[in-house]
Amino acid sequence: MPDPNLCLEALSALSGCRVESTSGASQLVPQDIVNVVALREFYKQEGFKELEYPSLGTLSLQDVDSMEMYSSPLALAAPEQSLTTSVKINVEEFFHSQYDYDFTNIKDGDKKFLRGNEQYVRPCGWNRVALRVTNKYDGGDRWLGTGKDAWPVSYQGHNMDGAQGIILTRDGNPDDEPNFLEAGAASLIAEKTRGKGVYSTPDVKLAEKYCKTFKSKVDGKTYKVVLQNRINPDKRNECQRENVWVVYIPEDSNDIQRRAIVQESIRPYGLLLKQV
């Protein structure tokens, strides 16, 4: 396992919270991280500036890319308020080093891998820190396996906003093909997909284009960070953009329903790090 403090920095960059270590009970479990990451982007799509989350309170949705996550917090209108919320996790409870896997120097070439009878493109070039998610969900761990009952793998980068970005762009640039734009717009207003949602991809290279980057105070190096998840094949929809999946959140859903939709649809199991 990489330096635990480096992993905490990566979680901080992803979540927008200041994640610190504790020897006591964790305030968050791995599922909370994917919930926060997904809902942060969803609420930003909706135009909100804050997100309320149990055990964390109010989270600012202001972009914190340029902020030093471990420096003194930047004040808001009131001196006691901060752009970043502090949260403590127990490293031993949160991570599962037995299942860490360093893909940094691995090249799969033409090798094929399957998860849930769907192609699994392994995150070659990345170092995976395993999250402790076994025996945490009803129904056992088949979703996490390699057989036909397993859920396919998806990767979640930062700012994979389908409404304004990834679904209407290719390689980060506006697509000039009218038919593609019309198809993308239609997918957003069709009855069965009305509302915005949570976006991920089976292609780690695509997720990398939208990932979060941070400079570590542990070693002074800069890293990219992506979440490796499993996605419920019954809950996802394919976007017009190739290799993009979306879990739609109905327009009239409340906060509790939104969290439930994410938890039923996307489960994290790896924190991916790559040195820039």
Q: What are residue 222's DSSP bridge partners?
A: 215
Q: Residue 35's closest CA among 19, 51, 21, 49? A: 51
Q: Distances from the Cα of 152 to the Cαs of 113, 189, 234, 257, in angstroms?
A: 11, 27, 11, 23
CA distances from 27 to 37, 54, 262 (A): 16, 10, 19
Helices (H) and strands (E) in the chain, counts: 6, 17
Structure-token pair, residue 45: 């799509």
Report how far residue 239's alpha carbon sits from residue 95's, in angstroms, rounded to the nearest whole number: 32
Length of the chain: 276
* Closest listed residue to residue 190, CA positions, set 234, 238, 258, 253: 238
Task: Report how far residue 235's alpha carbon sits from residue 263's, in angstroms, rounded to the nearest whole number.
Answer: 11
pTM: 0.83
> How far, in Å, CA of 242 to CA of 238, rounded?
8
Angle, helices 30-45 vs 255-265, to 10°: value is 120
Residue-wise pLDDT tens digits, 183-227: 444 444 344 444 478 999 999 999 999 899 999 999 999 999 999
Amino acid letter, 153: V
Amino acid found at 32: D
| pLDDT string in tens for the chain (276-residue length) | 899 999 999 999 998 889 999 999 999 999 999 999 888 888 887 888 888 898 888 888 775 443 443 333 333 333 334 447 899 999 999 999 999 999 999 999 999 999 999 999 999 999 999 999 999 999 899 999 998 999 999 999 776 654 444 544 444 443 444 443 344 444 443 444 444 789 999 999 999 998 999 999 999 999 999 999 999 999 999 887 788 999 998 888 899 999 999 999 999 999 999 999
Q: Determine the pLDDT at residue 185.
A: 40
Domain range holding 75? Answer: 4-275
**Quick one: tokens of 257?**
């329903």
Domain count, the chain: 1
Q: Helix, strand or coil for residue 258?
A: helix
Query: How, if at all, do strands 18-21 and 86-89 pair?
Result: parallel
The single-letter code of the amino acid at 130 is A
The answer to whether 159 and 165 are in contact (CB under 8 A) is yes
CA angle at 13 for the pair 9 and 15, rounded to the nearest 5°: 115
